[in-house]
Amino acid sequence: MNNPSSYANASLYVGDLLSDINETQLFETFKQAGAVASIRVCRDAVTRRSLGYAYVNFHNATDANRAIELLNFKDIKGKPCRIMWSQRDPALRRTNVGNIFIKNLHKSIDNKALNDTFGQFGHILSAKVVTDEHGQSKGYGFVHFQTQEAADKAIELVNGKSMNGKICFVGVFVPRKEREKQQKADPRWTNIYVKPLPKNIDDEGLQKMFSKYGTVTSAAIMFDEKKESKGFGFVNFAQHEEAQKAIEDLNGKEYEGQMLFVGRAQKKGEREKELKEMFAKIQRERVNKYQGVNLYIKNLDEGIDDDKLRAEFSVSGTITSAKIMKDDKGRSKGFGFVCFASPEEATKAVTEFNGRMIAGKPIYVALAQKKEQRRLQLEADFNRRNAGIRLQQQAQASGMSGNPLFGPMFYPPTGRGFMYPPGPPQMGGRGRYPTRGMPFMPGFVVPPGPVPQGQQQPSQQGGGRGGRGHRGRGGHHHGQNQNNGQVSGYPMGIKYNPNVRNPGVPQAQQPQPSLADATLPMTPERKQQIGEALYPQIDGFLTPLQKESLAGKITGMLLESLDLSELMQLLESQDALTKKINEALDVLSAASQIPEAK
C-alpha cells in the first residue's frame, strides 16, 4: 500500500506515453480513480509535439494513490504507462537515496515484472527497464525505493542471483559524472568487448568461452530486430585482473577461422572522444613532419604532370614527393604540392620559383598551409583591406581625396562577392573609354600598346576606328609630340597621355608628373597613370578566361587598398606585384568571383 501522506499535492507523473496521446484520452483513463482536477501533457515548446509524459492532478491524495494502484503499467492505446508520484522539488529529485541499478536482465522482464520482483523489499516510487527505439529491453533498468533501507535489502538479497535464468547484478545507482570521476581515479574496469563472433554462438557459449579466465558475472550477444546475432558481444568479470588476462590471451587470436578483437568495453561517447584525440594527435604529427618543407604551387599549365613538376623543382634540393591535384575526370586542377627533405631546400625553392614562367605561365609558390590557416589568413587580409577602404571612403566623403567624377573604383564585398557600381552604357564610339578586354572601370583607361618600330602611331594619323590611342572631343590626339610621348620614370615603355581625363584642355595646361617621384601627392590623375601602368602586367599574369572579368577588378583592388609607397614598389618589383595579384585572386576565389577553367 502506498503512503499518500507523503505526497499531499496529489499530483502524479505519467510516463512512457505515445506521442499522439492527449489530455482528453488521459482524462477518460484516470477519471475512474477519482475526481481529476487537471491534466497537462508536456510538449516541445517549438513543435508542440508530445514529450511522452504528462502530469495528472487529483483533488486529494487518496484518489491519486488509488490511480497508482489501479492504472500503473496499464496499456494506453497499446503501450503500458508508468505512474509515480510527482516530486516538484528538484533537489529531492536529484538525490540518489533508495535508487538502485540492475543489469543483465532477461529480455522478457518489463517495467511491471521489475516492479513486482522488487516490490517485496519495500515501497517503490518508480521501476523502469531501459528500451531501444524498437521498444526492446537493453538488459538493464532502475528501481527507486522510498527508503535507503529497502534499497540495501534488495541489493543484498538479489545481487548475483538468477532472474529468469540470468545472473543479475544489483548495485547502488551512481550518476554518470560520478562514474567518470571514479573511472579516472581507479580505472579498474571489468567489462570487455568481443568481435567477430560466429553467428551460432549464444550467451551461454560466450560465457563458457571466457569462464576459464575467471568468474564471469554476465555474457551477452547483441542481436538485431530479426533476432540474428550482430557478431559481437560483451563479457563482464568479477575482477579487473581477470578481464585483463582474457584480453591479453585472446586479442588477435584466431577463433573458428576469424581473428578476434578483445578489448575494454567503452561507451559510444568515450570511444568517440578517444578516436578524436587519436586523430588530432596524428594530424599534429603530420603537420610537424611537413612543417616548412611542403610547398603549394598554383597557376600550373594543364600539361604538367607529377614527373614534370618533380623535374622542375629538383634543382632546389631533394624532393620526397611531388603531386599534381586532379579532378574526378583525371584532369589537372592547375595546382599541386612539392615536399622537400629540409626546410632550407623548401625556402630556396620558394625564392627561386615564385613568379617564374613555366610552360608559358607565371607560377605561384608558397609554403603549404592547412585549410583553416588559409581561411583565417584570407579573412584577416580581407578585413584589413576593408578597413583601409572604409578609411579612404571616409576621407573622400570629407573632401580630402578621391575620384571627382565617379568616386572610388573598388567597393566592399556583399554577400555575393565584390560588387562594382553600375557604369554608363557600353561606349565604343570615338572619344570614349575602351571597353574590350575588361569590365567598365570608372576613371580607368587601358593604356595603348607598344608600337612596332617603323610604324606610325594610329593616333598621329587621325585615329581611325582601329586605332588604340584616345581621342579628344575635337578628334585630335595629345601627348605624343615630345620624346615620342614617353614620360620619365614611366615603366615598361607605356606612353603617358595627360589628356585622357580632360581631352578638351590644351596639352600645355596639363601637368606631366613622373610616376617614380614619391614626393608628389596621390591625385586622381596620378592614380590613373599608375593603374595604366599596372593593368597590362596584371592582364599578362591571368589566364585567358580570367582576363575578361578579373584584370580590371584586381587593378582596382590594388589601387584602392595600397598606399603610394606600396604602389611604387609594385611598379619596381615583379615579385611584389605577383604576390599581390595572388592575394587578390585568393580573396576573389573565396568570394566565388574567379571563373573555373574549362
Read off the pLDDT of residues 525-557 as tens digits, 9 standing for 90 and up: 777 888 888 888 888 888 776 766 788 888 888
Closest CA to 441 of 523, 521, 537, 550: 550
Which CATH architecture does the domain made up of 291-368 adopt? 2-Layer Sandwich (3.30)
Coil, strand or helix: which one is 506? coil
CATH of domain 188-265: 3.30.70.330
Provide the 8-state DSSP code for 449: P
d(C-alpha 436, C-alpha 445), whole Å: 11
Give 3-state DSSP helix, strand, coil % of the chain, rounded to 5: 40, 20, 40
Which residue reads 625556402 in cell numbers?
A: 347
The CATH superfamily of 4-180 is RRM (RNA recognition motif) domain (3.30.70.330)
Say what the pLDDT of residue 17 is. Answer: 92
Closest CA to 486 of 498, 473, 476, 477: 498
Among the ranges given (342-346, 447-451, 526-530), the one the predictor scored with the smallest mean pLDDT: 447-451
Query: pLDDT confidence of 54, banded at 50, 70, 90?
Result: very high
For residue 223, give the C-alpha cell: 542481436
More confident residue, 457 or 364: 364
The answer to whether residues 66 and 34 touch, using CB atoms and an 8 Å cutoff, is: yes
For residue 395, give the C-alpha cell: 576621407
- Pseudo-torsion of CA 394, 531, 471, 423, nearest 10°? -50
The answer to whether residues 89 and 126 touch, using CB atoms and an 8 Å cutoff, is: no
Read off the pLDDT of residues 191-245 as tens digits, 9 standing for 90 and up: 899 999 888 888 888 888 898 888 888 888 888 877 888 889 999 998 888 998 9
Query: pLDDT confidence of 478, banded at 50, 70, 90?
Result: very low
Coil, strand or helix: which one is 247? helix
Say what the pLDDT of residue 521 is. Answer: 66
Residue 299 backbone class (left: φ over 0; alpha: ψ -120 to 50; beta: rest): left
> Fold identical between 4-180 and 188-265?
yes
β-pair partners for 406: none
Say what the pLDDT of residue 558 is. Answer: 86
Which residue reads 510527482 in cell numbers?
A: 86
Q: Any residues with CB less than 8 A from the CB of 137 and at least 6 apart, and which?
A: 105, 107, 108, 109, 110, 129, 130, 131
Chain-centre distance for alpha carbon 168: 45
d(C-alpha 527, C-alpha 62), whole Å: 92
Closest CA to 349 of 377, 303, 309, 305: 309
The answer to whether residues 65 and 4 touch, using CB atoms and an 8 Å cutoff, is: yes
* C-beta neighbour count of 79 within 10 angstroms: 14
Q: Any residues with CB less than 8 A from the CB of 9 and at least 6 apart, and which?
A: 57, 61, 86, 88
Read off the pLDDT of residues 123-147 as tens digits, 9 standing for 90 and up: 888 889 998 888 888 889 999 888 8
Domain residue ranges in the chain: 4-180, 188-265, 291-368, 395-449+478-503+511-590
How big is the chain, counted in residues? 598
d(C-alpha 453, C-alpha 470), whole Å: 20
For residue 530, give the C-alpha cell: 599608375
Which residue reads 574549362 in cell numbers?
A: 598
84 phi and psi angles, rounded to 5 deg = -150, 165
* C-beta neighbour count of 415 within 10 angstroms: 6
Q: Region 556-561: what's the mean pLDDT?
A: 84
β-pair partners for 586: none
Query: pLDDT confidence of 397, banded at 50, 70, 90?
Result: low
Closest CA to 501 of 443, 440, 458: 443
Say what the pLDDT of residue 184 is. Answer: 65
Q: Region 43-65: what's the mean pLDDT?
A: 90
Provide the 8-state DSSP code for 301: -
For residue 60, give the C-alpha cell: 486529494
Which residue reads 611542403 in cell numbers?
A: 294
85 phi and psi angles, rounded to 5 deg = -65, 140
- Long-range pairs for 406-414: beta carbons < 8 A, 24 or more residues apart: 406/442, 406/443, 407/442, 408/560, 409/441, 409/442, 409/443, 409/444, 409/556, 409/559, 409/560, 410/553, 410/556, 410/557, 410/559, 410/560, 410/561, 412/386, 413/382, 413/386, 413/591
Q: Is the pLDDT of residue 442 over 60?
A: no
